[in-house]
Structure 1
């Protein structure tokens, strides 16, 4: 039998109203396709694990959700999108996801890959290429420049945690919202916390 992590309920409940049915739908499709899946929070967002490895993950942002597979290229091939953290673009409604039948097929393919111990691979043409530089919102860049100690903390964070802060601030539509998020980001970065630190797995 699989497991359900209560932190998923917290994460979904704190997500934007439009995102809640999307995340709940993804969760149920994954469990239906893979009854032995295990839920956990890694890197601040919900992950589904199976047979000793991450199967897929989902996340919500201010205006969209994302869903993707750990072995994305092996599962989706040329069908994957690079628009967001997941491989299905910026999802703002359940209709924008593939059908339940298609998602189930992808999930079962990912299950077989995990069972076989397949590791994620990169295209040969990109093997020696450097990752594209993270685009830091101007407001955040200026604030960090004014506070070297905080900038040092930010630079020491993992790429995924830095990206969380950048997307969170960049997604704000209103100036006052962006300013509020910027102040909160600086406060948390100074404490060495990720943007979604409340949901992260803590060591016992």
Structure 2
């Protein structure tokens, strides 16, 4: 494929791909056919319209996927969009196990991409849940109640950082695992850092 719209970082990503290479190339062609700009973000091929993220190509052990950044706003007339986890608010995936599935769905995929472009053109935004709507595990609530300084430090974090901590603390089923995660994160919170900040 000789095309001045191709991003060399995506070429490098595809050349290194051991799994899903053929599928990635088919999805790339479809995205470019929709006049999207090829970029490389979050270590994956990403396709944009006027610098707004539309779709991302990524792979997992059992499937590869086309991730629509604002998939929650699409009509999903074919019922093929998948919410990865209950905590994912905006993104939706269409999953594939082989290149034949992608080829068979090409016109549908293009329809979905064009709809996603229209969502961006219209300036539509996903209404995210407020941090206060997320569950605060009792173990963390106890820590907040015990320490005014911790409570202030947590309140000073950005809403996204607060949500990341609340989701991370809530995931384990066992109280001792939740408590362990909380204990390991207290210093970061006090220092105004997010879960993944160095």
TM-score w.r.t. the length of structure 2 is 0.57
Please name the residue that 1:33 is paired with.
34
Q: Distance in 2 between matches of 1:14 and 1:25?
A: 16
Q: Please report how far the alpha carbon of residue 83 of structure 1 lies from its aligned counterpart in structure 2 after TM superposition.
A: 4.2
Judging changes above 3 Å, is the alpha-carbon distance between structure 1 residues 92 and 16 closer, same or farther for their aligned structure 2 residues?
farther
Q: Distance in 2 between matches of 1:110 and 1:127?
A: 29
Q: Please report how far the alpha carbon of residue 16 of structure 1 lies from its aligned counterpart in structure 2 after TM superposition.
A: 2.0
Q: Please report how far the alpha carbon of residue 26 of structure 1 lies from its aligned counterpart in structure 2 after TM superposition.
A: 0.5
Please name the residue that 1:121 is paired with.
127
Post-superposition CA distance 1:155-192 (Å, at most 9, x none): 7327xxxxxxxxxxxxxxxxxxxxxxxxxxxxxxxxx6
Q: Please report how far the alpha carbon of residue 121 of structure 1 lies from its aligned counterpart in structure 2 after TM superposition.
A: 3.3
Check whether the contact 1:30–1:107 (CA below 8 A) recurs between aligned residues: yes
Check whether the contact 2:32–2:38 (CA below 8 A) recurs between aligned residues: no
Q: Please report how far the alpha carbon of residue 8 of structure 1 lies from its aligned counterpart in structure 2 after TM superposition.
A: 0.6
Q: Please report how far the alpha carbon of residue 50 of structure 1 lies from its aligned counterpart in structure 2 after TM superposition.
A: 0.3
Question: Secondary structure of 1:87's partner?
Answer: strand
**Number of corresponding residues:** 144
Please name the residue that 1:111 is paired with.
117
Check whether the contact 2:52–2:120 (CA below 8 A) recurs between aligned residues: yes
Question: Which structure has the greater CA radius of gyration?
Answer: 2
Q: Distance in 2 between matches of 1:39 and 1:102?
A: 20
Aligned mate of 1:7, from 2, 6, 9: 9
Q: Please report how far the alpha carbon of residue 76 of structure 1 lies from its aligned counterpart in structure 2 after TM superposition.
A: 4.3
Q: Distance in 2 between matches of 1:30 and 1:127?
A: 37
Q: Which runs of 5+ in 1 are unaligned?
A: 159-191, 193-204
What is the correspondence of 1:47-86 to structure 2 with a 5 Å cutoff? Answer: 47-77=46-76, 79=79, 80-83=81-84, 86=92
Q: Please report how far the alpha carbon of residue 125 of structure 1 lies from its aligned counterpart in structure 2 after TM superposition.
A: 11
Please name the residue that 2:151 is paired with.
none
Question: Secondary structure of 1:56's partner?
Answer: strand
Q: Which runs of 5+ in 2 are unaligned?
A: 86-90, 136-162, 189-193
TM-score w.r.t. the length of structure 1 is 0.56
Q: Distance in 2 between matches of 1:55 and 1:2?
A: 20
Question: Secondary structure of 2:133's partner?
Answer: coil
Q: Please report how far the alpha carbon of residue 2 of structure 1 lies from its aligned counterpart in structure 2 after TM superposition.
A: 7.8
Q: Distance in 1 between matches of 2:196 and 2:15?
A: 27
Larger RCO (alpha carbons 8 Å, 6+ apart) = 1
Task: Indicate whether 1:94 and 2:99 are aligned.
Answer: yes
